[in-house]
Amino acid sequence: MLTGKEDTGMEKIAVKLGLTLMAIALLGLAASGVLDRAGFEYTERSFKRALVTFAVARGLNAVISVAQGTSIAVEPAGVGVNFTPGQVLDPVNDLVEQFSWVMLASATALGLQRLLLELFTVPAFTWALAAVWLGALVLLWLPRVAPQMRVWLLRLGIMLLVLRFAVPLLAMTGELFYGAFLQERYDSSSARIEQVTSNIQEINQGAEQDIPVVDDPSLVDRVRRAYQSAAAAVDVGSYLRKYERAATDVSEQVINLIVVFLVQTVVLPLLFLWGLLRGIGWLWRLPLPTVHVRAGGGGEEGGNSLK
């Protein structure tokens, strides 16, 4: 039957063994690069998606700018008047400009995430991590040797492990959340914006009315110009309604895409960073193995320490 002292000694050995096995497993995972490859793959998907959406936003901005400059010439009572029904898209153009900035910021954030992945997955970082943990584990099993150094090495090793796996886990979390909750919204909104962009382009092509100018118009020319002017006047209202429908549709889809990328590149990373900082604080305060020497110098007492 084990005494209390023996039982405590077995528990400490079990904790040491568990910590050693966990460190070896995590170091093996870091050396294998399995998590890193998944992180790179997910980050590349998100980065390319952000770039494609940025290009779509700039294309939409371009056709709206053309629409705002497209005029329809009308000559009521012989007086030339130019209408620009595309000006109804001016508020939408402001929204699209802001959307372009959101997409640029999202692509930049994902590019930074990719850079951090590259930094924390270089072989030198992995070797440094392995060296720190080798020293920590050696001192862990030799409790009478440099106890304070052991504590600092263990804490440093834990911090380096957190940095090593934080960015791949963030990339995987963001992409999995996107696939589960955001992909359908993104696909439908992106397809709709591309369709609306094409529709506005067609409206722009049909809105320009060229009425020929004749120096000495005959009666037939005057009648033709009067007809064309009347038809153009009727078309102004028609084009105005088409642009208004496009504006309503664009606003809804742009807001949907803004929500998708803000959640994936701002909200989730901030939540992840908050949890990471809380976790690091908890790990730093976690009691780690140390040795306390009695005042008389004749022996050791461990308290909650591992010897």
Cβ atoms of 254 and 190 within 8 Å: the answer is no
pLDDT score for 244? 82
Of 196, 194, 176, nearest to 52 by C-alpha is 194
Distance between CA atoms of 151 and 136, rounded to whole angstroms? Answer: 8
- Report which DSSP code applies to 307: -
Residue 92, domain extent: 4-301
- Residue 283 domain-assigned? yes
Q: Which residues of the chain have pLDDT under 50?
A: 1-2, 76-81, 209-216, 219-220, 222-223, 226-234, 291-307
Stretch (H or E) spanning 300:
strand 300-301
In a domain, 276, yes or no: yes
Q: At what angle do helices 219-262 and 183-207 cross, to 10 degrees?
A: 160
Number of domains in the chain: 1
| Integer Cα distance of 195 and 285 in angstroms | 56
* Domain annotation covers residue 243: yes
Quote the CA–CA distance of 214 and 224 in Å, as a whole number: 11
For residue 208, tell me if it sits in a domain.
yes
What is the C-alpha separation between 148 and 135, in angstroms, rounded?
12
Give the closest residue to 246 by CA, choosing from 193, 205, 207, 206. Answer: 193
Determine, yes or no, domain membership for 306: no
**CA separation for the pair 14, 22 (Å, rounded):** 12
Q: Please indicate, yes or no, if residue 55 is contained in any of the structural domains.
A: yes
Q: What is d(CA 13, CA 169) in angstroms, rounded to the nearest whole number?
A: 31
CA trace torsion 126, 132, 137, 139 (10° rounding): 170
pLDDT score for 208 = 57
Phi, psi angles (nearest 5°) of residue 79 = -100, 125
pLDDT at 226: 47
Residue 259 falls inside a structural domain:
yes
Residue 79, number of CB atoms within 10 A of its CB: 8
**Could you tell me if residue 307 is inside a domain?**
no
d(CA 243, CA 55): 22
Would the pTM count as exceeding 0.85?
no
